[in-house]
Amino acid sequence: MVGGGGEVCEGRVTPLDRPAVVASDQRRAADRAHQAPSAAIHGIATAYPAIRLTQAEISAKAAEVFGRRPDLMERMARTYGHSGVQSRHSCVPLEWYGEPHGWPERMRLFEHHAIQLLTEAGHRALSAAGIRPNDVAATVTVSSTGVVTPSLDSLVQAPLGLAPAVQRLPVFGLGCAGGVIGLSRAAALATSMPGRWVLFLCVELCGLTFRRDDDSKANIIGTTIFGDGAAAVLLRASTDAADCATVDAWGEHTWPETRDVMGWRIEDDGLGVVFSPRIPALIKAELKTVSDAFLARAGLCVGDLAGHIVHPGGEKVIAAIEEVYGVPPGGLEDARAVLSERGNMSAVTVLAVLEKALARGARGRHLMSALGPGFSAGLALLTLPG
């Protein structure tokens, strides 16, 4: 039904209701005119630890560490070659992975390297936009691979040169979906304070979660894909961002009773990885419906998109997403390139994909998506300039 009691049939409105519909359209147009502008991306940067490990080096180290289970490693050996990963960065040397480590050491390493990488990425993003650190009004900081108190956002304030009065939002536990959901939170903050600068910071040190005495399949799969890295994105909602990518809409979906699909277990010596073999099947069965509904709320469908910016969880995940979105096999080139060069850096990875897409001059509407613990999907609609 529409205002005035008429009916909408086959996309047409009865004459009785046309004045009411026109008035409604005018009200909506007026509302849109008074809405805050989309959050524009003025700077994006990534940072990686100096240590770079090849897949061959990691595979050999894993065979050594899990030598007590030759039958298991024989079954898992092919996984290293089929993961889509060629190299990764690590904040600790290869030898570290063969030694025992407890919570205190892991968290000391996390704090030190996280601050270092966030500071580097943050300075690069600010420099790219020509913005002084003390002009930043708010920060959103995402991580799921370490815990420190005071939180990371307060610990990077001084190294980054941020003002003491900066508003801070630390977010923990989003896992791989954190890159999209964190960017969405930063965009929401930016649109709530037009003209003010918001800095989104994200760091994941996945390598520090490796536990040498855990010979579960999930832990070994983690050794085939996990890498370390950080990213920073500088946003502002204003009317002078014609040459910037914009974050136009965002949403998320959590499937009930799926906690066992992805996440961390709290163990005596660190975080134990949870990876269900059902993930690719769940993507194929569930993601399209959720994505279509999100796009429909923006008045769009998949066919209206110029491309996709996706989190490359692994080779099987990328293949499943390509099938869901109707992308030819191998078509998600930016995601595959990041996976190959950097591995799966949890929440940071999709931001590295966005950086790569912008650097190569991608244009038009893009759907940004990532899947994480919950089991959850983070979605955002971006318009890339040009």
User: Could you read off the pLDDT of 161-172 as tens digits, one per residue?
Assistant: 999 999 999 999
In whole angstroms, what is the distance from residue 197 CA to residue 46 CA?
Answer: 19
In whole angstroms, what is the distance from residue 319 CA to residue 329 CA?
Answer: 7
Between the alpha carbon of residue 182 and those of residues 235, 245, 247, the distances in Å are 12, 16, 12
Q: With bands split at pLDDT 50, 70 and 90, how would you rate the model's confidence at 17?
A: very low
Q: How many CA atoms lie within 13 A of 88 on its CB side?
A: 32
Clarify whether residues 230 and 251 are in a common domain: no
In whole angstroms, what is the distance from residue 102 CA to residue 106 CA?
Answer: 6
Clarify whether residues 220 and 316 are in a common domain: no
Clarify whether residues 271 and 230 are in a common domain: no
Clarify whether residues 71 and 217 are in a common domain: yes
Check: pTM over 0.85? Answer yes or no: yes
In whole angstroms, what is the distance from residue 133 CA to residue 163 CA?
Answer: 7
Q: Which domain holds residue 292?
A: 245-384
Would the pLDDT of 78 be above 80?
A: no
Between the alpha carbon of residue 147 and those of residues 192, 343, 373, the distances in Å are 29, 22, 17
Closest CA to 77 of 91, 96, 63: 63
**Phi first, then psi: what are they for 226, rounded to 5°?**
-70, 140
**Residue 35 located in a structural domain:** no
Clarify whether residues 210 and 292 are in a common domain: no
Clarify whether residues 101 and 121 are in a common domain: yes
Would the pLDDT of 2 be above 60?
A: no
Would the pLDDT of 115 be above 50?
A: yes
Clarify whether residues 345 and 204 are in a common domain: no
Q: By three-state DSSP, how is residue 274 classified? A: strand
Establish whether 301 is a catalytic residue. Answer: no
Residue in 91, 176, 202, 206 annotated catalytic: 176
For position 161, which CATH number holds? 3.40.47.10
Mean pLDDT score, 159-182: 96
**Residue 81 located in a structural domain:** yes
Q: With bands split at pLDDT 50, 70 and 90, how would you rate the model's confidence at 71?
A: confident
Eight-state DSSP code of residue 50? S
Instruction: Tell me how many domains the chain contains.
Output: 2
What pLDDT does 20 receive?
36
What pLDDT does 27 receive?
42
**Residue 168 located in a structural domain:** yes
Model confidence pLDDT, tens digit, residues 292-310? 999 999 999 999 999 999 9
Strands 197-205 and 136-143: parallel
- Contact criterion met (CB below 8 Å) for 19 and 212: no
**Residue 372 located in a structural domain:** yes
Mean pLDDT score, 121-137: 97
Model confidence pLDDT, tens digit, residues 214-243? 877 788 888 889 999 999 999 999 877 778
- Contact criterion met (CB below 8 Å) for 380 and 183: yes
